[in-house]
Amino acid sequence: MSGQVSQVRRWIGLPVVAVVLVVATITVQLTHGGGTYEPLRPADACVERSVTSRATGIDGLTERLVLIGLDEAACTLRTSREALTLQLARQSGDPTTKQVDALREGLLSAVARMKADGSLPKASALVDEVLDSADLNGLLERIIRALPDSVIDRALSTDDVLVRTIDDLDVRALLDDLDDPSALDGRVEKAVTQAVKDSLEARLRDLV
């Protein structure tokens, strides 16, 4: 009988111990400022912020381009980058002309900003990556690889290639049927990356 009483007391004591632990945890949090917690606000898209990329080469270039471009577009639309991507994913119907124009202009503004801060790589720094994925005959590829960097950089400027790429980009198609906010960056980056490679390849062909 005494064993049963002890068992009952243990079962009764468990909720008491749980309550004590919860109260102690809350007390510690309040002591360290937990009672003044406020949710983080999205960054102001109109305030220039540093944008870095973990990728290199053309992938890194286009990643920065898209992130800056989305900030610029969000600023134009008077919202945050996070809110814009969420809106594009949740809205019913096609993207509006205002959204399409804002993103295109944002990407063009990003090119200008990257040119101004000196973060655009020279075209010659991207040639090997372009040739590695291009479908060129062996002789043409060897001729292009043999061109001095100075010749390539005089004939091609990275900002000009990017501007031409963005002008030709089907932005509306990129924004259409977007059901995942996190997919927007990747979708635009993939399209821009491929377009940049195609543009550079075509213009490299014209050099020889």
Instruction: Enter the DSSP assignment of 54.
Output: S
Of 30-39, 46-55, 115-124, 178-187, where does mean pLDDT reach its minimum?
30-39
SS3 52: coil
pLDDT per position as a tens digit, 116-173: 999 999 999 999 999 998 888 889 899 999 999 999 999 999 999 999 999 999 999 8
* Confidence category of residue 42, pLDDT binned at 50, 70, 90: low
Average pLDDT, the chain: 81
Give the chain's radius of gyration (CA, Å): 27
pLDDT per position as a tens digit, 117-128: 999 999 999 999
Exposed/middle/buried for residue 160 (C-beta within 10 Å: 0-12, 13-18, 19+): middle
Q: Does residue 70 register a pLDDT over 90?
A: yes
Strand (E) or helix (H) holding 138 = helix 138-146
| CA dist., res. 137 & res. 71, Å (int) | 41
Q: How many CB atoms lie within 10 A of CB 149?
A: 12
What was the pLDDT predicted at 16?
A: 44
| CA dist., res. 80 & res. 46, Å (int) | 8
Q: What is the dihedral of CA 40, 60, 134, 197, to 10 degrees?
A: 70
Q: Does residue 108 register a pLDDT over 90?
A: yes
Percent of the chain with pLDDT over 90: 48
| CA dist., res. 202 & res. 101, Å (int) | 27
- What angle, 0 to 180 degrees and rounded to 10, lies between the N-to-C axes of helices 183-207 and 138-146? 90
Tokens 């198609």 belong to residue: 173
* Confidence category of residue 106, pLDDT binned at 50, 70, 90: very high
Q: Are 135 and 193 in contact (CB under 8 A)?
A: no
Q: Does residue 205 register a pLDDT over 90?
A: no
Q: Does residue 98 register a pLDDT over 50?
A: yes
Indicate the pTM of the whole model: 0.75
What was the pLDDT predicted at 169?
A: 92
Percent of the chain with pLDDT over 70: 79
